Amino acid sequence: TTTAMRGQTLAFPDGFIWGAATAAYQVEGATRADGRGVSIWDTFSRRPGAIADARTGDTACDHYHRYAEDIGLMDRLGLSAYRFSIAWTRVRPDGSGPVNQAGLDFYERLVDGLLAAGIEPYPALYHWDLPQALEDRGGWTDRDTAYRFAEYAETVQARLGDRVRTWMTVNEPWVASVLGYGIGVHAPGRNSWADAFRAAHHLLLAHGLGVRVLRAGGASQITLNVNLAPVLTPGQVNDPAVALSPEDAEAVDRVDALINRQFLDPVLRGEYPARVLPIIERVAGLGHIRDGDLAEIGRPIDLLGVNYYTPCVVRSMPGTPANPAYPGTEDIEFPGAFAPTTATGWPIVPTGLSQLLLRLTRDYPGVGLLVAENGAAFDDVVSGDRVHDADRTAFLESHLRAAHAAIEAGADLRGYLVWSLLDNFEWAEGYNKRFGIVHVDFGTQRRVLKDSGLWYREVIRRNGLWKERARRPTLEEVA
């Protein structure tokens, strides 16, 4: 890098981690290969009406067989890290029974391939694909599942711990509990608020027990990934400094406690927020929260994985019934934001990311931050061997500018992982929503680096953005 180039670059800190993420059920396919057991997503995706166009993850991106080609793509991108998840059912097909060595062999090939390409593996142990056998015994509503998770974590680490330095425990306990057990739009498709709160607690407990065994096994960095959203009134979306009425301030605080602090406080402070406990007690009782659990859950971690997509927009509106996804939100309306949206309908608010990172820095000091997911679904324009996705590039660029601003203002942000490396099985949306920086033709499994991927490669190469938006190179320059 010449001085001139550095002058034009909005540089990120040295050693900043540039990566991309996927999850097992969304990309692997090969759901019957080499002794893999049945997960709740195999079951749920066959439930009539559960998934758009009745699709499943049976084939997905066939990453199980094409991982070497996919590592080649990561190498072209110049990624420093690849976040993937391990399918519990490949390792212990029944959740708790015998270990399936063939499943571990796959992750060993993947990890070795990544290391050979100079890419740091960031495995996540749980990205929603619970073994069906455990669900049949109560799933995450049963405390025992957390202990089975710790057992499985230990098994995986015993095989890969000499090569994996960074471990991710659980991905998005809010989504897994609320969408899976509370409103049934994700596996296992149950509909009970009480179950959702119990599941959330047991997912947190699984994380804590996982930290304990991973640490004992010598892990050097441990994270959990939480989906976080700044909670804002419609007025704050455009002007964060706008003054709130006491009613709006209360609505914001209550929803923030439910979606963010319910997970952050146990993990980073060893306690449930006082604002949430009475809601949990009313809905589920407190019997599932035992003495000692919060000490277990609050074990120190090194990094917090922040998954950010969009803010949560609320305002006080007396008489409104509780939002089905948020018990305890009586008298609060969720009006959405006046902002452009992605193909999933989520408002695009890049400043939400800087606000979030700075708020974490202020309220939860001492833990490093990693953007563990950020990205967007848009429709691709395929033209010959190019895939045009200018909207995605603009989305990523504006969020990276926001991340950079947070770093300048003092956030200890260590890295950024794009969701996602590949277009993939987008849960209840099937294959209709494309989040990849690599286009996947699901008929032929052909992969093509999208324009956003070519752009990201350039960002990684210079460890930064172009200072002036206008100086962004043309695609011809970077292709």
> What minimum distance in Å lies between the beta carbon of 282 and ligand GBH?
24
Helix (H, G, I), strand (E, B) or coil at 401: helix
Q: What is the DSSP string of 420-476?
A: -SB----GGGTTSS---SEEEETTTTEEEE-HHHHHHHHHHHHTEEESSGGGPPPHH
Cα separation, 193 vs 280, whole angstroms: 9
310 lies in the site for ligand GBH, by CB under 6 A: yes
CB neighbours of residue 133 within 10 Å: 18
If the CB atoms of residues 122 and 419 are measured against ligand GBH, the closer one turns out to be 419
Closest CA to 158 of 103, 218, 234, 242: 218
If the CB atoms of residues 100 and 310 are measured against ligand GBH, the closer one turns out to be 310
Please indicate if the annotation marks 309 as binding a ligand. yes
430 lies in the site for ligand GBH, by CB under 6 A: no
309 lies in the site for ligand GBH, by CB under 6 A: yes
# chain residues binding ligand GBH, by CB under 6 A: 13
> What minimum distance in Å lies between the beta carbon of 101 and ligand GBH?
27
Tell me which stretch binds ligand GBH (CB under 6 A): 112-120, 168-176, 200-208, 356-364. Answer: 168-176
- Residue 429 catalytic? no
419 lies in the site for ligand GBH, by CB under 6 A: yes
Please indicate if the annotation marks 419 as binding a ligand. yes
CA 74 to chain centre: 19
Residue that the structure tokens 């419609």 belong to: 234
140 lies in the site for ligand GBH, by CB under 6 A: no
> What minimum distance in Å lies between the beta carbon of 447 and ligand GBH?
18
Q: What angle do CA 236, 242, 246 make, to 5 degrees?
A: 95
> What minimum distance in Å lies between the beta carbon of 337 and ligand GBH?
8
Pick from 129, 296, 426, 451 the residue near ligand GBH by CB under 6 A. Answer: 426
Token pair in block for residue 459: 């960002």
| Amino acid residing at 368 | G
Please indicate if the annotation marks 171 as binding a ligand. yes
Annotated active-site residue in 120, 296, 373, 397: 373
If the CB atoms of residues 18 and 435 are measured against ligand GBH, the closer one turns out to be 435
Contact 395, 375 (CB under 8 A): yes
Pick from 23, 73, 124, 231 the residue near ligand GBH by CB under 6 A. Answer: 23
If the CB atoms of residues 205 and 313 are measured against ligand GBH, the closer one turns out to be 313
Pick from 177, 223, 227, 233 the residue near ligand GBH by CB under 6 A. Answer: 227
Residue list 58-97, contact with ligand GBH (CB under 6 A): none
> What minimum distance in Å lies between the beta carbon of 446 and ligand GBH?
21
Tell me which stretch binds ligand GBH (CB under 6 A): 44-52, 162-170, 276-284, 305-313. Answer: 305-313
> What minimum distance in Å lies between the beta carbon of 371 and ligand GBH?
12
416 lies in the site for ligand GBH, by CB under 6 A: no
CA 59 to chain centre: 22
Please indicate if the annotation marks 107 as binding a ligand. no
> What minimum distance in Å lies between the beta carbon of 373 and ligand GBH?
6
Instruction: Please report the sign of the dihedral spanned by the C-alpha atoms of residue 332, residue 334, residue 335, residue 339.
Output: positive
Closest CA to 39 of 191, 152, 147: 152
Residue list 329-368, contact with ligand GBH (CB under 6 A): 346
169 lies in the site for ligand GBH, by CB under 6 A: no
171 lies in the site for ligand GBH, by CB under 6 A: yes
Cα separation, 107 vs 301, whole angstroms: 24
Closest CA to 53 of 445, 446, 421, 426: 426
Pick from 86, 150, 153, 175 the residue near ligand GBH by CB under 6 A. Answer: 175
User: Which residues in 33-59 are b (16+ Cβ under 10 Å) and which e?
Assistant: eeebbbbbbbbbbeeeebbeeebbbeb
> What minimum distance in Å lies between the beta carbon of 427 and ligand GBH?
6
If the CB atoms of residues 39 and 100 are measured against ligand GBH, the closer one turns out to be 39
Output Rg (C-alpha) for the chain, integer angstroms: 21
Q: Is 412 left (phi over 0), alpha (psi -120 to 50) or beta?
A: beta
Please indicate if the annotation marks 26 as binding a ligand. yes
Burial class for 409, CB neighbours closer than 10 Å (0-12, 13-18, 19+): exposed
- Residue 151 catalytic? no
Pick from 28, 42, 135, 172 the residue near ligand GBH by CB under 6 A. Answer: 172
> How are beta strands 386-388 and 413-419 bridged, if at all?
unpaired
129 lies in the site for ligand GBH, by CB under 6 A: no
373 lies in the site for ligand GBH, by CB under 6 A: yes
Annotated active-site residue in 120, 135, 172, 458: 172
> How are beta strands 303-307 and 368-374 bridged, if at all?
parallel
User: Which residues in 223-256 are b (16+ Cβ under 10 Å) and which e?
Assistant: bbbbbbbbbbbbbbbeeeeeebeeebeebbebbb
Closest CA to 351 of 313, 399, 408: 399
Tell me which stretch binds ligand GBH (CB under 6 A): 45-53, 289-297, 307-315, 454-462. Answer: 307-315
If the CB atoms of residues 23 and 357 are measured against ligand GBH, the closer one turns out to be 23
Cα separation, 129 vs 45, whole angstroms: 11
Site residues (vs ligand GBH, CB under 6 A): 23, 171-172, 175, 227, 307, 309-310, 346, 373, 419, 426, 435
- Residues with catalytic function: 172, 373
Binding residues for substrate: 26, 127, 171, 309, 419, 426-427
